């Protein structure tokens, strides 16, 4: 009897672990956590006193909405994912999860996420819903039609940072708009670096993320220009013209130096036009956005 029970428990545990693995793949758990990191940073910047209940709701709601968006995206792109080396082992194309299961997971996450964010304030839920709609219903279908999909996708992608501010203050103003613009401009060199690296895989299924349609100097130049804009808007709060969102001179210098690192990586891609330079830009861009958010938060707290 003891062996039977142990085996039963072991079997249940194995099933639970496998489902958790597929759930994490479907919702892109690591990406969802990075998205919510931006929202938490925005919340800390906007709040006068950190409310643990609000922060918990933002964490749960943000993870749920981000996970649901990724799940719906994988349902829509299941055929494309099955043709790409990078995505063919995702739960749906690999046959490890049915479309129906994925759909109900996405619906459950959507409802629970919006309820949690609405409990903070209605505007937070509204912006989250807008982000999700743009990502799943506009950006995703456009990916196979035009490189402008990156521009469209930059809107929902820029919402998390400012969403935290809206959650903390209940309002959208100059401050939230500034946080939005920082993450908006940053996405172009980031996603163009990814598009450069994955060009063959994307091209095979009719997706083109690069502005010129090619891995050429025109695309690299665009990455340079948007890196400049990212740097400029990131240090803007030091001027004292972005409402209550302000940073010190020391923080501005650190942010500017980080921005120079991003810009140098983009310029290196312009000079080299190779895989290694694109990978460096992608890595630097990921580090950059998290690092400047940490700088902003630490600058406020001290």
At 208-229, the pLDDT tens digits run 889 988 899 999 999 999 999 9
- Alpha-carbon distance of 206 to 189, in angstroms, equals 21
- Alpha-carbon distance of 42 to 166, in angstroms, equals 8
The residue whose two tokens read 């219903």 is 137
Mean pLDDT (the chain, rounded): 91
- Alpha-carbon distance of 296 to 41, in angstroms, equals 8
C-alpha distances in Å from residue 223, one per residue of 59, 76, 78: 32, 29, 30
Token output for 201? 């895989």
Q: Is the pLDDT of residue 18 over 90?
A: no
- Alpha-carbon distance of 206 to 185, in angstroms, equals 25
pTM for this prediction:
0.89
C-alpha distances in Å from residue 141, one per residue of 41, 44, 234: 30, 34, 31
Q: Where are the domains of the chain?
A: 21-172, 173-302
Give pLDDT tens digits for 87-144: 888 999 999 999 999 999 999 999 999 999 999 999 999 999 999 999 999 999 998 8
**pLDDT band at 162, cuts 50/70/90?**
very high
SS3 assignment, position 302: coil
Give pLDDT tens digits for 19-74: 688 899 999 988 899 999 999 999 999 999 999 999 999 999 999 999 999 999 99
CA-nearest of 54, 71, 87, 36 to 205 is 87
CA-nearest of 42, 65, 66 to 54 is 42
Q: Please, what CATH class does the domain formed by 21-172 belong to?
A: mainly alpha
């Amino acid at each position: 009897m003891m062996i039977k029970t142990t085996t039963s428990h072991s079997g249940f545990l194995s099933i639970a672990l496998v489902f958790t693995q597929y759930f994490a793949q479907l919702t892109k758990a690591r990406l969802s956590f990075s998205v919510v990191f931006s929202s938490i940073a925005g919340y800390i910047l906007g709040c006068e006193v950190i409310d643990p209940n609000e922060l918990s709701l933002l964490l749960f709601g943000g993870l749920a909405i981000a996970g649901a968006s990724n799940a719906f995206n994988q349902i829509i792109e299941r055929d494309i994912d099955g043709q790409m080396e990078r995505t063919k082992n995702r739960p749906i194309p690999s046959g490890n999860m049915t479309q129906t299961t994925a759909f109900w997971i996405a619906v459950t996450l959507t409802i629970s996420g919006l309820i949690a964010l609405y409990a903070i304030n209605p505007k937070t839920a509204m912006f989250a819903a807008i982000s999700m709609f743009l990502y799943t219903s506009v950006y995703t279908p456009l990916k196979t039609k035009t490189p402008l999909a990156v521009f469209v996708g930059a809107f929902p992608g820029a919402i998390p940072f400012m969403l935290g501010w809206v959650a903390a203050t209940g309002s959208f103003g100059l401050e939230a708009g500034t946080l939005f613009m920082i993450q908006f401009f940053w996405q172009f060199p980031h996603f163009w670096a990814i598009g450069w690296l994955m060009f063959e895989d994307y091209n095979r299924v009719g997706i083109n993320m690069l502005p010129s349609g090619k891995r050429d100097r025109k695309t690299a130049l665009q990455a340079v220009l948007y890196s400049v804009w990212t740097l400029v808007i990131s240090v803007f709060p030091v001027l004292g013209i972005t409402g209550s969102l302000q940073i010190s001179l020391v923080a501005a210098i650190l942010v500017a130096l980080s921005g120079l690192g991003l810009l140098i990586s983009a310029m290196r891609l312009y000079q080299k036009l190779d895989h290694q330079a694109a990978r460096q830009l992608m890595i630097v861009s990921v580090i950059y956005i998290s690092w400047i958010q940490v700088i902003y938060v630490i600058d406020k707290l001290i």
